[in-house]
Amino acid sequence: MPPVRTRSAALLAAAALATLTLVPSAARADLKLCNTTASRIGVAIGYRDPSGWTTEGWWTLAAQTCETLFKGALSSRYWYVHAIDYDRGGEWAGQSFMCTADKSFTIRGVQDCTQRGYKRTGFFEVDTQEANDWTIRLTDPSEGGARHK
């Protein structure tokens, strides 16, 4: 025979369940990059927001670690990444050219990089499919180079 519940206990349980279902959970919304290689890497990103193009760098990621590169809901569907393998040499690059600097930087605009004293650097494109949260995984070249989720 099942245990007998009082009416007030049943109402309290129902109210607690209703409260749990009505309270929205905190949604994650970030751009992360995971370094799945055996090397330390340096990473720069590029993106377009309502004010125009921005590039930012450098984050240094130890081997087998992840880092949040942009906090909050993603401002753009397309993000651009350039990474350098500090330990073994090489890079993850592409045909989308943006401005970078040797040291930590935030640069507005992607035009006339060298005339403005910056480097013109090739970035590869990441399509986040308009998600609010995205993780990019950089892999060793033997595993296909750059993979993203």
The side-by-side arrangement of strands in the sheet containing 30-35 is: 65-71, 30-35, 134-138, 146-148
Domain with residue 117: its CATH number is 2.60.40
What is the predicted pLDDT for the residue at 28?
Answer: 63
Tell me the mean pLDDT in the region 119-144. 89
What is the predicted pLDDT for the residue at 129?
Answer: 92
What is the predicted pLDDT for the residue at 74?
Answer: 86
**Number of domains forming the structure of the chain:** 1
Residue 72 has pLDDT above 90, yes or no: no
Residue 6 lies in a domain: no
Q: Residue written as tokens 């040291």?
A: 103
Residue 4 has pLDDT above 80, yes or no: no
Instruction: Give exposure, 106-118, as e/b (b: 16+ Cβ within 10 Å).
Output: ebeebeebeeeeb
Q: Which residues contact 64 (CB under 8 A, 6 or more apart)?
A: 35, 36, 37, 38
The whole domain housing 123 covers 30-148
